[in-house]
Amino acid sequence: MKCVKGNLNDKLYRKRLLYLVVLYAQLCNGARISEAVESVLKWLTTGVREIKVLARKIKIERLIIIPRELVDLRTTLQEITKKLVAKS
């Protein structure tokens, strides 16, 4: 994900980066958006790339694997989510 460049102080850039990460995780795993959001948040807090998430409609656990390309962005994403939580 080196193609994503911008200023971390820009609110729009931070939002877009988070959206891209969630959508990329969703695309790589064939998951629903709510499952991808949940897995990315768990990955940011725990650091574990393989996460089991409850599939919403069929009520079974689904394995979501965070792509390797996103691992380098983890610390940046943690800072962004801290800023978002602090503001809300």
Q: How many domains does the chain have?
A: 1
Domain assignment present for 22:
no
Domain assignment present for 1:
no
Domain assignment present for 71:
yes
Residue 64 Cα distances to 49, 79, 88, angstroms: 8, 23, 28
Task: Supply the range of the domain harboring residue 63.
Answer: 30-81
pTM of the complete model: 0.85
Domain assignment present for 7:
no
Q: What is the mean pLDDT of residues 12-19?
A: 91
Domain assignment present for 42:
yes
Per-residue confidence at 83, pLDDT binned at 50, 70, 90? confident
Provide the β-strand partners of residue 51: 64
Q: For position 3, what pLDDT does the model report?
A: 53
Beta strands in 1-88 (DSSP E): 50-54, 61-65
Domain assignment present for 88:
no
Please write the tens of the pLDDT for every residue from 21-79. Answer: 999 999 999 999 999 999 999 999 999 999 999 988 888 999 999 999 999 999 999 99
Of the CA atoms within 13 Å of residue 7, those in its CB half-sphere come to 4
Domain assignment present for 36:
yes
